[in-house]
Amino acid sequence: MSQWKSKFIYGMALTCLVSACATTPPPAVDPAAKLDAIVAEADAAQKAGQTDKAVKLLKDATSAFPADKGPWIRLAQIRFDAENYGDAISYALEGLNRDPKDKVANSIVAVGGLRLSTKALNDLRTQNDLNGNVRNEAQGLAKILRESLGETVLVPARPKAVVRPAVPKKGAVAAKPGATPEPSGDGANPFGSLQ
């Protein structure tokens, strides 16, 4: 009887071994397909108004796929659309670290930077603190922008506005003869003196 038990155990072991070899391994998950699924889910969440969920999904994707630019650029676009330009620029720069030629990321950095600069210049202008080195640097940047865009004026002139006479502050640089005074009021062109 012990011989029968040995044969039975040997036969069962052999059967298990053969059947284990016959099973096919589960199909490998394509990483690109998995990333596409996460981005699609984030896009659906964004369209449904669930921005926080979309951002969380994309941030998780940046951890799971650190070499891929896609989630970073999608995060940058979401933040840009929400007018959170600081975060948008930061995420776009991460995308550019992975692909320096990405046009969307470069556009977000450029336009987001201009919008932040416009706000800062408006704030400085309302405080009448745009002078000295800051003013010179702003004028230099405006010149570079005009040359890059092939334009003589960065921001087209608005319809005639009420013009207030320029009263120089003590220690301020006097206006050049024939220079156009800046329009007054809210919403005035922050680049008025830089044209």
Where do the structural domains in the chain lie, given as residue ranges? Answer: 31-153
Position with higher pLDDT, 88 vs 159:
88
- Does residue 128 contact residue 173 with C-beta atoms inside 8 Å? no
CB burial of residue 173 (10 Å; 0-12, 13-18, 19+):
exposed
How many Å from the N-terminal Cα to the C-terminal Cα in the chain?
A: 105
Looking at the structure, give the CATH architecture of the domain made up of residues 31-153.
Alpha Horseshoe (1.25)
Q: Is 116 helix (H, G, I), strand (E, B) or coil?
A: helix
Position with higher pLDDT, 142 vs 81:
81
Distances (CA, A) of 95 to 11, 60, 117, 194: 59, 15, 22, 32
HSE (side-chain half, CA atoms, 13 Å) at 65 = 20
Phi, psi for residue 159 in degrees, rounded to 5: -55, 155
User: What's the confidence (pLDDT) of residue 53?
Assistant: 94
- pLDDT digits 0-9 by tens, 45-71: 999 999 999 999 999 999 999 999 999
Q: Is 165 helix (H, G, I), strand (E, B) or coil?
A: coil
Task: Give the C-alpha separation, 32 to 39, whole Å.
Answer: 11
User: What's the confidence (pLDDT) of residue 184?
Assistant: 46
User: What's the confidence (pLDDT) of residue 76?
Assistant: 95
User: What's the confidence (pLDDT) of residue 185?
Assistant: 45
Task: Say what percent of the chain tops pLDDT 70.
Answer: 57
Position with higher pLDDT, 64 vs 155:
64
Position with higher pLDDT, 181 vs 142:
142
pTM score > 0.85 for this model?
no
Taking the alpha carbons of 100, 77, 109, 147 in that order, is the dihedral positive or negative? Answer: positive
* b/e per residue 99-131 (b: at least 16 CB within 10 A): beebebbbebbeebeeeebeeebbebbeeeebe
